[in-house]
Amino acid sequence: MLSVSNLHAFYGKSHVLHGVNLFVGHSEIVSLLGRNGVGRSTTVKAIMGLVTARGTVTFQGRDDVLGLKPHEIAHRGLGYVPEDRAIFPDITVQENLLLGMKSKEAARRWTIDDMYAQFPRLRERADAPAGVLSGGEQQMLTLARTLLGDPDLIMIDEPTEGLAPLIVDQVARLLREIQRRGISILLVEQKLAIALDISDRVYVMGHGAVVFEGTAAALRGNAKVRKEWLAV
Ligand SMILES: Nc1ncnc2c1ncn2[C@@H]1O[C@H](COP(=O)(O)OP(=O)(O)OP(=O)(O)O)[C@@H](O)[C@H]1O
Ligand SMILES: [Mg+2]
């Protein structure tokens, strides 16, 4: 479904990714793990056309993703939820959600009511300006808005960062529900327990490249990799 081959990325002269290879299959949850600064966010940004990159990114059989503009990539069905919340603070929660919706004619997996059912807090705040929401609520709003664009694969960068444990569980449940509806997920996650719990497969990055790939169970059983590349 999504395949990334020999991906290099650059911030000016700084060469940050050194040939990342990864694959996300249909309806899979795949996590991208690694210590701070190893290039996890850069990987998803490069796939999304937000960072200068070379290599090959293939999505749904088309290998010309690199070089497209971010909105063109989104239009092909690749959703992206950045680390920093991407909401419009001055308009209401409901208006933010409406803006996320793909054209009315398109077959949609999700409705605004689905989003309110997943996140009752957003329904309560529907008429409030999005800017007054807490950080966690803004995170949910960003995720909800991206889902309303009806992506076939969604890349989510640290959705649980800074959230209360109860909300973290809600996000984990939603990720499973997303998968159940046939959407693939590439998840950047810092919390190893959650990543192992919900992922089919995981990639561990170190120094701008993948240093381990395998099932969640394989990583759980591999203390050496966890110690060398994940422990703080
Ligand atoms: N806009 C930027 N300009 C220059 N260097 C950057 C920029 N963004 C990130 N970097 C550098 O690129 C490297 C990879 O950063 P990246 O954001 O991909 O890390 P990460 O794995 O997502 O970790 P974390 O989210 O914990 O910071 C880091 O060394 C970082 O300092
Ligand atoms: Mg990051």
Instruction: Give the per-residue pLDDT at 136.
Output: 83
- Looking at residue 210, its pLDDT comes to 98
Q: Which two tokens stand for residue 225?
A: 């990799």
Question: What are the structural domains, with CATH classification, of the chain?
Answer: 2-88+149-229 (3.40.50.300)
Task: Give yes or no for residue 34 CB within 6 A of ligand 1.
Answer: yes
Minimum CA distance residue for ligand 1 atom 16? 39
Q: What is the pLDDT of residue 104?
A: 61
The predicted structure's pLDDT at residue 160: 86
Question: How many Å apart are CA 139 and CA 86, to the nearest integer?
Answer: 8
Angle at 19 between CA 159 and CA 147, to 5 degrees: 25
The pLDDT score that the predictor gives to residue 58 is 98
User: Which neighbouring-strand residues pair with 59?
Assistant: 2, 62
103 pocket-lining for ligand 1 (C-beta < 6 Å): no
Ligand that comes closest to the CA of residue 17: 1
pLDDT recorded at residue 103: 63
Q: Which residue stretches of the chain have pLDDT < 70?
A: 102-107, 232
Q: What is the pLDDT of residue 182?
A: 93
Q: What is the DSSP string of 40-107?
A: HHHHHHHHTT-SEEEEEEEETTB---BTB-HHHHHHTTEEEE-SS----TTSBHHHHHHHHPPPTTS-
Give the ligand with the smallest distance to the CA of 42: 1
Tell me the backbone φ, ψ of residue 59, rounded to 5 degrees: -135, 125
* Distance between first and last Cα of the chain: 33
Cα(89) to centroid(ligand 2), Å: 23
Report the C-alpha gap between 206 and 185 in whole angstroms. 21
Report pTM.
0.94
User: Ligand 1 within 6 A of 208 CB?
Assistant: no
CA distance 93 to 75: 23
The predicted structure's pLDDT at residue 106: 58
41 CA from centroid of ligand 1 (Å)? 7
Residue whose CA lies nearest to ligand 1 atom number 29: 37
What is the structure's pLDDT at 20?
Answer: 98
Pocket residue to mutate for ligand 1, from 16, 33, 83, most atoms within 8 A of Cβ: 16
